[in-house]
């Protein structure tokens, strides 16, 4: 099915300074702090006690429900404490603090027996892998399709459209064989489905390396323009299939599932080698960082330790982000841990972090012209100011991807995407009351 119209997009500064930076493994920190909420769904439940000795790859927390994910240790050492911590989104979560012994003793890694589709989904559930492109949705839920007749496409998201972030790029270049083997697993357990890689045209090195392998494996590469937000799930599905995901629906409702390339590679590592997710490759960049690079770190490592490995700060950071400059989450300081879905840490100095002055809306319409979902942020803003939930629903605020295009193009520097987030939260609160 061909697209009948083009989704709106914007050009952002890509600033992929670390695209050619081979991932480096940092020294083991003195301790790690591992939250039980690093995914969408129920928090994991600690499976260790204070004083327990743990090894690398050991299960330290069980999934807390059907929509949840287990957690494994990326270090060896002793459980120092299990306490509540404040997360960057303002919620609280239990967290396991492990004092590292620097020995990095590992458990025996035993690959699971994966012969049937049920085995495959069970392995995904036990792997600890969640959506590593930012969402953190438990992978086994996404993959556990009950009616295969509803599925036409499996889309591998290699777009990496956010500025600065290059950790997916390094996965494609450094773990090419593992990535392609992950695709082979998809082809095996989702037979007769079209597997398509979606990748931006600014990743020529990745495209050149993958093309012959994809041809041999009957995988299509769809090269997309390097505009933002190409990697957004709704945008990617539309640009590849021509199918628009309706409000309140998922990609599967239009016959597709989307899997991030690093997510798939981590699943492959568990199925082939029995190694669960316990470490991450993270892009470290920004004007305040001395030595931007891609770093392999145990999950739970403090951002301050990662920054120190990157040469420390060249100036005092005034803004630190989990993720990219468009959809990243601001954190109060660097005393926060690397999470499962942390793909970048960006630290900016005063010049880049200072917000421009907000002025009145001039009704220029740029936010409408550039919204990928064809929303009207100005009207949503007015409805939210009046707490008019009927109009918020009418203006379809719930299909907002929170990509930030509206705020980026606004000449009045209005915080439109933040207003959209608050408006969506208001509708959720109303739904709970009902």
Q: DSSP string of 318-371?
A: SEEEES-TTT-EEESSS-SB--TT--EEEEE-HHHHSPPPP-------HHHHH-
Instruction: Give the domain-ending residue among 273, 297, 332.
Output: 273
Instruction: Give the domain-ending residue among 242, 273, 304.
Output: 273
Instruction: Give the domain-ending residue among 225, 249, 273.
Output: 273
Same domain, 135 and 263: yes
DSSP H or E run through 176: helix 176-189
Per-residue pLDDT 10s for the chain (434 aa) are: 344 457 889 999 989 999 999 999 999 999 999 999 999 999 999 999 999 999 999 999 999 999 999 999 999 999 999 999 988 878 899 999 999 999 999 999 999 999 999 999 999 999 999 999 877 999 999 999 999 999 999 999 999 999 999 999 999 999 999 999 999 999 999 999 999 999 999 999 999 999 999 999 999 999 999 999 999 999 999 999 999 999 889 999 999 999 999 999 999 999 999 999 999 999 999 999 999 999 999 999 999 999 999 999 999 999 999 999 999 999 999 999 999 999 999 999 999 999 899 999 999 999 999 999 999 999 999 999 999 999 999 999 999 999 999 999 999 999 999 999 999 999 999 888 76
Q: Which domain holds residue 413?
A: 366-433
CATH number, domain of 160, equals 3.40.50.11540
CA distance 85 to 91: 9
Looking at the domain assignment, is residue 105 inside a domain? no
CA distance 418 to 434: 25
Domain count, the chain: 2
Same domain, 376 and 249: no
- pTM value is 0.95
The neighbour count for residue 101, using CB atoms within 10 Å, is 15
Looking at the domain assignment, is residue 305 inside a domain? no
**Burial label, 357 (beta-carbon count in 10 A; 0-12, 13-18, 19+):** exposed
């Amino acid at each position: 099915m061909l697209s009948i119209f083009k989704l709106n997009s914007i050009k952002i500064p890509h600033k992929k300074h670390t695209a050619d930076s081979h991932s480096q493994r940092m020294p083991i920190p003195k301790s790690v702090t591992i939250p039980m909420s690093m995914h969408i769904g129920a928090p994991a439940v600690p499976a260790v006690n204070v004083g327990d000795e743990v090894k690398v790859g050991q299960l330290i927390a069980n999934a807390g429900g059907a929509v949840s994910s287990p957690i494994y240790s990326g270090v060896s050492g002793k459980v120092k404490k299990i306490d509540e911590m404040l997360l960057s989104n303002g919620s609280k979560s239990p967290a396991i603090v492990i004092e590292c012994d620097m020995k990095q003793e590992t458990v025996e890694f035993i690959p699971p027996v994966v012969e049937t589709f049920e085995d495959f989904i069970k392995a995904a559930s036990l792997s600890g892998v969640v959506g590593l492109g930012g969402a953190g949705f438990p992978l086994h839920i996404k993959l556990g399709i009950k009616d295969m007749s509803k599925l036409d496409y499996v889309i591998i998201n290699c777009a990496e459209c956010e500025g600065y972030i290059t950790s997916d790029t390094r996965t494609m270049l450094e773990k090419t064989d593992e990535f392609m083997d992950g695709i082979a697993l998809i082809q095996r357990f989702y037979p007769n489905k079209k597997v398509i890689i979606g990748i931006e045209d600014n990743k020529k090195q990745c495209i050149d390396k993958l093309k012959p392998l994809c041809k041999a494996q009957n995988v299509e590469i769809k090269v997309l323009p390097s505009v933002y937000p190409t990697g957004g799930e709704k945008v990617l599905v539309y640009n590849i299939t021509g199918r628009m995901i309706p409000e309140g629906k998922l990609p599967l409702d239009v016959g597709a599932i989307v899997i991030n390339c690093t997510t798939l590679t981590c699943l492959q590592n568990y199925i082939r080698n029995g190694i669960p997710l316990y470490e991450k490759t993270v892009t470290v960049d920004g004007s305040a960082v001395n030595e931007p690079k891609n770093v392999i770190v145990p999950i739970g490592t403090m951002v301050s330790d990662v920054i120190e490995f990157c040469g420390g700060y060249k100036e005092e950071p005034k803004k630190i982000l989990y993720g990219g400059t468009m959809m990243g989450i601001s954190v109060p300081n660097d005393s926060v841990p690397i999470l499962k879905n942390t793909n970048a840490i960006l630290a900016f100095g005063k010049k880049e972090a200072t917000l421009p002055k907000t002025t009145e809306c001039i009704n220029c319409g740029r936010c409408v012209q550039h919204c990928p979902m064809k929303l009207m942020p100005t009207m949503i803003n007015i409805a939210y100011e009046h707490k008019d939930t009927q109009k918020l629903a009418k203006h379809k605020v719930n299909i907002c991807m929170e990509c930030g295009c509206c705020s980026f193009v606004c000449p009045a520097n209005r915080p439109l995407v933040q207003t959209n987030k608050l408006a969506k939260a208001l509708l959720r609160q109303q739904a709970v009351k009902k």
